[in-house]
Structure 1
Amino acid sequence: MGSSKLDQLKFLSVNSFGSVMGISGLSLAGRLSHNLFGTSSLIAELIGLMGIIMFVLLSVFFAIKLLKFPSVVYSEFSSPIGGNFYGAITVAILLLSSVILPYNRILGQSIWIIGTSLTLLLSYFMVSRLFKVKQDPLHAVPAMLIPAVAILNVPITGVAMPFAWIHELNLFCIAVGGVSSLIFLTMIFTRLIHHEPMAAGMNPSLLILIAPFEVGFLAYVSMTKSIDMFASTLFYFGLFLFMVLFFKAVNKSIPFSTAWWAVSFPLAVLSNAASKYAQYVNTWPTKFIAAFILILTTFVIVIIFIRTIKHLISGKLLQG
């Protein structure tokens, strides 16, 4: 890679790791689909492999960016809006631990510990800095939820871990992630309703609003091993928000950028939640919902992936 190509990495946004979140989440949804519908498990595993490769490549490129342009990375991390997307890295690590775990338990557990440690550290930093200076209401955007959603991913991916302390850690993460999500959702909805609209380029991130409900559903069910009224409420309200927000977030009039990957993980986690719900309830309407959302999620991620490759080849993806 030439010097001019390396210089383009200055414009590699951390939200690019949203692609790993979406693809890894789709791989896990494919595993659930194999159990629910008998679809090919090979496809799910190949998608998971793609997620691993993309994470490695993005990590290498982002490490180069950090070495060449440390001030740019620091500015991005310090941003009250952009800094939240660093949670995408920790979520990607947690999801990849679940992708890898069936093949190598030691490696999967090690990756999970790294992801959990980084998630807790990042979430502590992101929440604590809210109390240091007066906050601008316009900074309350859906991306604010990413660190809180990251914590909720810990019990989902860690429920199978064999450690003696795992149960209490999972309870801690559900408490912190759940209450934080509730507080941030209130702030975000207040901003979206009472202030001017977000920039059009940020609209794909609207789907992040469904993530706390569906990730919360998966975390709760992972811990309780059952679906009760509370779990159903989480799942169905997230589904309702999806119906309200989908066409606002996925609109071809929105300029394409890596920000479009913000829709992939919420769709993937909704697909996982729908499949998990259908497994427990086992009725044809819930199975239909699960199948429809899986197909839609796959279609959207494929389209975003193709558009990303096209923009990368044309040189439009990494531009200031």
Structure 2
Amino acid sequence: METIAAVQKQRSIGSVQFLPVNLFASVMGVSGLSLAWRQASKLFGTSLVIADIIGIVAVLMFIALSIGYISKWVLYPQKVVDEFMHPIIGNFFGTITIAILLLSTVLGTYSQELGQIIWIIGTATTLLLSFVFVSRLLNGDQEPVNAVPAWIIPGVATLDVGVAGGTMPFAWAHEVNLFCLAIGGIVALVLFIIIVFRLIHHAPMPAGLTPSILIMIAPFEVGFLSYTNFMQKIDPFASILFYFGLFLFIILFFKVFKRSVPYGASWWGVSFPIAALSNAALKYADFVHSWLLIAIAVVILALLSIVLIVLFIRTLKTLFNGTLLRG
């Protein structure tokens, strides 16, 4: 009877073979929210307990998703290969390495040694993944309609190396951070131009991919965080990155948050760009000390918190009603 009940439960929830890799974007978003609330504690004096609790949730989510995806890899290896080789979905494998890098910062607040080890792992896997995906693009024969914002993820991943490791104490860390900043900055800029051309001259993206359009702000806000961490200051170039990302977010917000866009796992694609914007806004507001920028930072942090709560609840709902893991 217990076996029958277990089988029925598995059928009701779905199969791990349909676990989408883009769900790792949820770890990025929640990790970014934890870091944003930690930044807010410096600016507004909010309790660090909020950041700590959110950070624990991010770690648990990563562990759960890792177990699930490794199980998928072991039981259904061809499914993983198909996802990795897909011209659009494959780019979301970058969310795994970015999640590792962000978790190195989250965990680094409790143990510097642990944070450094995780950062090294995240940096190595990020560089490897960026090499693979940039090489794939240069093989040619890419369909213009496949040039979607998700293409930016592996490139932006290298920018996150500096976000998480801008102050790493290793003698070689300075050059590695500069190397990653160079890769991420140039690759993201080139792909941004290609994607904008596609959005202007081709048909709109499918509704399921519409939320991922917010990824286009990531190169500017993650670039701002990486650059300022590396330079240890905020200069006019950093300000330009922040303000253009903010301008682009305002434009894209009204294209994404519409009733006509159906909910799906792809909605987690909005979480980490907004998280990057929130962290950048808090950092910039702390630097400028302008009431307007402080107000903007508060609004974005509130928006990020609300969006992630809604996404978390809706994802759990789709998981337990069997639609999330259904082919």
1:245 matched residue in structure 2: 252
- The correspondence for 1:140, drawn from 125, 147, 160, is 147
- CA apart distance, 1:122: 0.2
Q: Using structure 2 for the length normalisation, give the TM-score.
A: 0.96
Q: Is the 8 A contact 2:14 2:324 kept in 1?
A: no
Q: Distance in 1 between the 2:140 and 2:73 partners?
A: 26
1:112 matched residue in structure 2: 119
Matched AA of 2:137: L
Q: Is the 8 A contact 2:13 2:323 kept in 1?
A: no
Q: Distance in 2 between the 1:266 and 1:243 partners?
A: 12
Deviations along 1:25-60, one digit per CA (max 9) or x if unpaired, are 000001000000111110111000000000000000
Q: Distance in 1 between the 2:210 and 2:246 partners?
A: 18
Deviations along 1:8-29, one digit per CA (max 9) or x if unpaired, are 1111100000100000000000
Deviations along 1:73-117, one digit per CA (max 9) or x if unpaired, are 001000110110000000000000000001111111111111100
| 1:70-89 equivalent positions in 2, closer than 5 A | 70-89=77-96
Q: Is the 8 A contact 2:159 2:223 kept in 1?
A: yes
Identical-residue share of aligned pairs (%): 54
Q: Distance in 2 between the 1:94 and 1:34 partners?
A: 22
2:188 corresponds to 1:181: yes
1:307 matched residue in structure 2: 314
Deviations along 1:200-249, one digit per CA (max 9) or x if unpaired, are 11000010000000000011111112222111110000000100001212
1:296 matched residue in structure 2: 303
Runs of 5+ consecutive residues of structure 2 not aligned to the other structure: 1-5
1:319 matched residue in structure 2: 326
2:74 corresponds to 1:67: yes
2:138 corresponds to 1:131: yes
3-state SS of the aligned residue for 1:251? coil
Deviates more, 1:2-11 or 1:293-302: 2-11
- The correspondence for 1:15, drawn from 13, 17, 22, is 22
Q: Distance in 2 between the 1:219 and 1:66 partners?
A: 32
Q: Distance in 2 between the 1:228 and 1:60 partners?
A: 42
Tell me: CA distance 1:53–1:113, structure 2 relative to 1, closer, same or farther (3 Å): same
> Would you say how many aligned residue pairs link Structure 1 and Structure 2?
320
Q: Distance in 1 between the 2:286 and 2:94 partners?
A: 30
Q: Is the 8 A contact 1:90 1:150 kept in 2?
A: yes
Q: Is the 8 A contact 2:278 2:301 kept in 1?
A: yes
Q: Distance in 2 between the 1:252 and 1:48 partners?
A: 30
- The correspondence for 1:214, drawn from 202, 216, 221, is 221
Runs of 4 or more, structure 1, over 4 Å off, are 1-7
- The correspondence for 1:268, drawn from 271, 275, 290, is 275
Q: Distance in 2 between the 1:100 and 1:178 partners?
A: 26
Q: Is the 8 A contact 2:215 2:273 kept in 1?
A: yes
Q: Distance in 2 between the 1:178 and 1:133 partners?
A: 22
Q: Distance in 2 between the 1:77 and 1:279 partners?
A: 40
Matched AA of 2:170: F
Deviates more, 1:251-260 or 1:168-177: 251-260
Q: Using structure 1 for the length normalisation, give the TM-score.
A: 0.98
Runs of 5+ consecutive residues of structure 1 not aligned to the other structure: none
Q: Distance in 1 between the 2:325 and 2:20 partners?
A: 9
Q: Is the 8 A contact 1:226 1:280 kept in 2?
A: no
- CA apart distance, 1:4: 4.3
- CA apart distance, 1:252: 2.8
- The correspondence for 1:30, drawn from 33, 37, 47, is 37
3-state SS of the aligned residue for 2:260? coil
Deviations along 1:244-276, one digit per CA (max 9) or x if unpaired, are 001212223222111110000001010000000
